[in-house]
Structures are given as C-alpha cells and as structure tokens.
Amino acid sequence: MRILVVEDDINLNRQLADALKEAGYVVDQAFDGEEGHYLGETEPYDAVILDIGLPLIDGITVVEKWRAEGKGMPVLMLTARDRWSDKVAGIDAGADDYVAKPFHVEEVLARVRALIRRAAGHSSSELTCGPVRLDTKASKATVDGTPLKLTSHEFRLLSYLMHHMGEVVSRTELVEHMYDQDFDRDSNTIEVFVGRLRKKLGVDLIETVRGLGYRMQAPSEAG
C-alpha cells in the first residue's frame, strides 16, 4: 500500500511519513500543492494525506483538480482546528475524511486504514482469505492462527493482494503500490517476492494468471 503525504510543515510531514512507514506503508512526500498535485495525478496511491494550507496550490484546489481529472483515490484532509468551513469545503471538493490539527498520529493512521479498506470494499479491519488473516491495525498476518514472519516487502505484497482479493493484479500494479517513487523498480523482483510469500503461507492461495498477473482467493471462492 502506497501513501502520499502532502504537508508543507517539514517536521509534521516527516512525523506522518515515519509513522506510516513503521505501519508497513510505502510513502511519497510532497511539500507544496503543486508537487503534491503532480504526484497524485501521475502516480497511483492507495490513499493521500493532504494538508489544506499549502504553498503554490491550496489543498482544496488540489483535491478538486484530482477529482476533475477522474482520480478517485481516498483523500484525508488535514484541517486547522475550529475551521469548520475548511472541513465543509474539503469534503465538498472531494475529500473523503478529515482530521483537525493538532492530531494524534494514531488517529491519522486509523483513518487511513479505514479509507483504504472502504475503497477496496472491506468493512472490517481484519481481512481473511482461507486460513490467512491479515490484521490491518497491527500490520500482522497469521496462517491458521500462527503468526507469519514477513519482510516489509512481503507484508506489502500480501496486504495489497488481500485488499484486492479475487481480482487479477498485474505485476506493474504491484510494483507501483509496493515501492516509492525513488525506488529502482524492477517488476521481475515481484515474481521473487510472490515465490517467497507462497512458501511462507504454505497454502496455495496466490494463483498466477498467465500474462496478466496474480490473483489471491480462498479455495472455496475459486470458480
């Protein structure tokens, strides 16, 4: 899962990015509205954290532009405390949720998790695929109740596949959602990670769809 943080307060931006990385996300950072808008327009994000008061282009205009361009990723706005008009304007412009400053990072993380879940059509914070359970809150996975020891890449891969259960996910899509923009991306490594993940899961839940990518689903749901 890949997140974009657009916040001009350098310390706050770093604080959010660190907490998100700690929780297993890949994070891109932008420090003004122009850069933020460009990244959101050109890169696929699973969620965006967007400050309203930004240099060059304000957050409300940024989200408005994205929606006009057909970009539908979940957007969490950061608003100034007690500026109810900002919250209304943000939601009207196309934001999905907001958090008022000052906030606890845990609240931002919880809202981001919920936005990603809902965007993928899941209402519970725990995703299940056969014997595999993914706890999006604790960033942990188990098979038949036994905790899985996963590297951050393996966890991101599993998390993405489980959020998109039953769908065919291409290698390119996986690369785009598992690495940040500065990473030297190579879609061949995805195959290696899928191989390792299959081995660790020990159950055959990730199907290779020739020429298209991968699909994860529980055996009973396989048609």
* C-alpha pair distances (Å), 56 with each of 7, 11, 59, 81: 12, 19, 10, 22
- Name the residue nearer to Ca ion (CB basis): 55 or 195: 55
Sole binder of Ca ion in the list 8, 34, 35, 43 (CB under 5 A): 8
By CB under 5 A, tell whether 83 contacts Ca ion. no
Binding segment for Ca ion among 7-15, 140-148, 199-207, 208-216 (CB under 5 A)? 7-15
Least distance from Ca ion to the Cβ atom of residue 9, Å: 6
By CB under 5 A, tell whether 32 contacts Ca ion. no
The residue written with tokens 């994000």 in the block is: 45
Query: Which residues fall within 8 angstroms of residue 213, CB to CB, at 6 or more apart?
Result: 168, 169, 170, 171, 173, 174
Binding segment for Ca ion among 51-59, 65-73, 156-164, 179-187 (CB under 5 A)? 51-59
The number of beta carbons lying within 10 Å of the beta carbon of residue 113 is: 18
Binding segment for Ca ion among 2-10, 63-71, 81-89, 120-128 (CB under 5 A)? 2-10
By CB under 5 A, tell whether 53 contacts Ca ion. yes
Size of the site for Ca ion (CB under 5 A): 3
CA atoms 151, 156, 161, 162: torsion sign: positive
Q: In this structure, what DSSP letter does residue 158 have?
A: H
The one-letter code for the residue type at 39 is L
Least distance from Ca ion to the Cβ atom of residue 12, Å: 8
State the residues that interact with Ca ion by CB under 5 A.
8, 51, 53
